[in-house]
Amino acid sequence: MSEERILCYSEDIDLAGDLLRLARAAPGATGAKIHAVVLPGAPADAGDRLARAGAEAIHVVAGAANADPHVVAEMLRSLIAAVKPTVLLLASTKRGREVAGRLAGGLDLPAITGVTGLRFAANGIEVDRETLSGNAVSVERIPTRPAIVGVLPGTTGPAVAAASAERHDHALPAAPTPFCERTEVRAKPGGALEIEKSDRVVTIGRGLKKKEDLGIIEALAKAARADVGCTRPLAAEAGWLTDDHWIGLTGHRVHPKLYVAVGVSGAVQHLVGMRSSKIVVAVNSDPNAPIFAQADYGIVGDLYQIVPALTKALGG
């Protein structure tokens, strides 16, 4: 296993840190050397953050920043030739999946994305992936290495002691020509909420009767220093909140320390997005609502009475 070299890359340095921690903790990876990548355009402190997340070698590529997946894939391809990783771990983001596909096709390597668990074995790599709307886990095996594995954001391992990382600088022979140019970045209505990074979330569901009542949820969130999340019907059907609040299988996946679900039934497609929250509080008028099975604390009652009382108790 000492020959194992795991190369981790994400354009999001927090997610790259999650990959490093996952690689370090993966069963069967003992003795593997964990490498990280810094591509042009990364934040100035990227190297320090990756070292703190456990990278033993950091590969810094010089050149012009470009988000085009083709350019990113070409840069990683050069690094793969230099580092010869046995596994390339990417975050299974939209761009990560595009990059994985390009590299797999270009290098004729096996690739698997949407992974939530990772284990190394003598005869390949075993991964977990969600299936049946997140209701079951499919265990899949890639029998050979090298391989490319795309890990679902939020999947990580325990914190590690900061390593002293070696730094390797790489200059590419020629800058890859982008296939696609970004012509504009337009702010989304509703701002730049990144709910998947929130430490505390207050989520509202269809228990809310009308849009004008959102004020009581926002007041609770403010008092709890939380961000507001919602179920799919409130974003996709009612349009009361923008998509960046939407939590679940087809929305965002959150991992907060505190998750307060208000008027949320607890459908499996919602649970997939919040199930790794540390403490879950549910407020629902139906004592049989499935959300209570996920909750550490449950309050059975009318949200229109409970929510203002909670807000007041928190000093709001």
Output 269-276 pairs: Cβ under 8 A, ≥24 positions apart: 269/133, 269/134, 269/232, 270/205, 270/231, 270/232, 271/134, 272/130, 272/133, 272/134, 272/248, 273/247, 273/248, 273/249, 274/201, 274/203, 274/229, 274/247, 274/248, 275/134, 276/154
Closest approach of ligand FAD to the CB of residue 207, in Å: 3
Between 54 and 207, whose beta carbon lies closer to ligand FAD? 207
Q: Binding to ligand FAD by residue 267, rule CB under 6 A? A: yes
Rg (CA), the chain: 22
Strand partners for 112: 149
* CB of 18 vs ligand FAD, minimal distance in Å: 21
Is cis: bond before 146, omega within 30 of 0? Answer: yes
> Of these, 169, 296, 302, 309, which contacts ligand FAD (CB under 6 A)?
302
Q: Which residues contact 256 (CB under 8 A, 6 or more apart)?
A: 198, 199, 200, 201, 226, 277, 278
For residues 81 and 2, the answer to whether their CB atoms sit within 8 Å is no
- Told to check if 251 binds ligand FAD by CB under 6 A, we report yes
> Of residues 61-100, which lie at the interface with ligand FAD (CB under 6 A)?
none
* 250 forms part of the interface with ligand FAD (CB under 6 A): yes
Q: Is 285 in the site for ligand FAD (CB under 6 A)?
A: yes
Beta strands 111-121; 124-131: pairing state: antiparallel
Query: What is the smallest separation between the CB atom of 235 and ligand FAD, expressed in angstroms?
Result: 8
Q: For residues 156 and 203, which CB has a smaller minimum distance to ligand FAD in the complex?
A: 203
Query: Within 13 Å of residue 198, how many CA atoms lie on the same side as its CB?
Result: 29
Nearer to ligand FAD, 17 or 266 (CB): 266
Number of Cβ within 10 Å of residue 158's Cβ equals 8
CA distance 279 to 16: 25
In the complex, least distance from residue 77 CB atom to ligand FAD, rounded to whole angstroms: 34
The window from 27-35, 61-69, 176-184, 243-251 that contacts ligand FAD (CB under 6 A) reads: 243-251
* Residue with smallest beta-carbon separation from ligand FAD: 248
Of 157 and 266, the one with the shorter C-beta distance to ligand FAD is 266
Cα separation, 79 vs 74, in Å, equals: 9
Among 17, 69, 248, 256, indicate the residue that binds ligand FAD (CB under 6 A). Answer: 248
Among 115, 228, 303, 310, binds ligand FAD (CB under 6 A): 303
Q: Shortest gap between Cβ of 130 and ligand FAD (angstroms)?
A: 12
Which lies closer to ligand FAD via its Cβ, residue 157 or residue 248?
A: 248
How is the beta sheet containing 33-38 ordered, strand by strand? 136-142, 124-131, 111-121, 147-151, 87-91, 5-9, 33-38, 57-62, 166-171
Which residue in the set 289, 292, 294, 295 belongs to the binding site for ligand FAD (CB under 6 A)?
289
Query: According to the binding rule CB under 6 A, does residue 286 interact with ligand FAD?
Result: yes
Contacting ligand FAD within 202-241 (CB under 6 A): 205-207, 231-233
The residue ranges that bind ligand FAD (CB under 6 A) are 205-207, 231-233, 247-251, 263-265, 267, 269-270, 273, 283-286, 289, 302-304
